[in-house]
Chains A and B, each alone.
Chain A
């Protein structure tokens, strides 16, 4: 399938890219890795008149922890997250997520930021980064603004980004002492959309009580979801088996899956429950191992 015709621009700087977006408005789309946009264009689900390719802009592939914040640049690809020693050592939630996004070939081109802007509720990064309490930086003609990820993700394939803005940075709070994360996904095969997936990030005090919990759900709602009731319930508790069971039930209750070829509504909800319990147990083990 051949996409509809479009004009192509490959600006050399961010201000140039923003100016192109300002000039072309709704007609224009940013392309980075293109692993979501190009399939959508081939199916003619997307027909942008102009593609603004940001891959030739230098300096957008940063991935570093600075002053308590992990900064992920807009050209960081899934494979780079997967291979990064920093991510592997300090951010197990993100490392596990990176290793299950699409398939290894797609991971060599697709970007984390592009996945967030695409805002597919079955995208892994939305759920994982909600659990990690990520924020996003949008750059437009008027400068930068920063939003919590949950305010950025509005609806299916819909975000708070304006047509003249580019997602230029993802900011993840660096892990506190005694914290850990995990991402668990059920998929029929590599590369298929998730049946369900759950990402968690938890921190504990010196007595083993939970001081903060993030629980993100993938592919079980109109957007990536935060299981707020489960998060609130976990605060102050030790992770005894019955506590995890209850958190799993609360996460399942927060999901609103739709039946499809991957499973019924009831099955998916139950998988959210089970994945939540297992992910919390694994994250706690990591947090308390040190």
Chain B
């Protein structure tokens, strides 16, 4: 039997009429039309479908949409603000943290949640945090570097901007602290 349900995605309420067996990832992609979240393995293995549920990274292929009713979901579309890439997106770009890009939305969400919780994670901690997200292209090196660079940028932005940092520092300061 279909049910009407409402949940918040990237701060916007979305209502859909779905069967209880509708997985959250399909609700996000098909009901909400947000196709940034990918379906990868469909077996709770790869993490391509990672979204934040009330701020915590989870596999949206392993959660029924009805379970998320009334909760706050953040997808990769929720990272950039007003045309400005999130510092983590910028760092993935600059550090070449992707090749085919299929795992990237999931990696970004896991990385963003990590940096929200731990502004200065060590390499080991980063590797542990992304151990539920598979990448078959990069060998992870540049992904780890990108998360480290984003951490630096976000910490820099959180501290008062010194005269030497100039406009770039101010721009990342404006983005800082906006991780959903």
Contacts and interface: CB of A to CB of B under 8 A. Distances in A.
The answer to whether A and B belong to the same complex is: yes
Interface of A: 1-8, 10, 31, 34-35, 38-39, 41-42, 51, 53, 55, 79, 102-106, 108-109, 190-191
A201 to B, nearest CB: 25
18 contacts: A1-B42, A5-B20, A7-B1, A34-B62, A39-B43, A39-B44, A39-B62, A51-B20, A53-B67, A102-B132, A103-B47, A104-B57, A104-B132, A106-B44, A106-B62, A106-B132, A191-B45, A191-B132
A104 B129 contact: yes
Given A6-B21, A105-B50, A109-B59, 16 more contacts: A4-B21, A5-B19, A5-B20, A7-B20, A8-B3, A8-B64, A34-B63, A39-B44, A39-B62, A102-B132, A104-B57, A104-B131, A105-B57, A106-B62, A106-B132, A190-B131
Contacts of B132: 102-106, 190-191
Interface residues of B, number: 29
Given A42-B42, A105-B132, A105-B133, A5 B21 contact: yes
Interface in B79-121: 110
A108 B66 contact: no
A4 B20 CA distance: 10
B58 interface: yes
Contacts of B62: 34-35, 38-39, 106, 109
A10 B132 CA distance: 29
A198 B1 CA distance: 45
Given A35-B62, A55-B67, A190-B131, A105 B47 contact: yes
Interface in B11-57: 19-21, 23, 42-45, 47, 50, 53, 56-57
Interface of B: 1, 3, 19-21, 23, 42-45, 47, 50, 53, 56-59, 62-64, 66-67, 69, 110, 128-129, 131-133
Nearest to B70: A56
B133 A8 contact: no
Name which of A4, A42, A104 has the most chain B CB atoms within 10 A of its CB. A104
B56 A10 contact: no
A105 B59 contact: yes
Given A104-B131, A191-B131, A2 B58 contact: no
Contacts of B53: 108-109
B64 A38 contact: yes
B131 A38 contact: no
Contacts of A55: 67
Nearest to A109: B58
B127 to A, nearest CB: 10
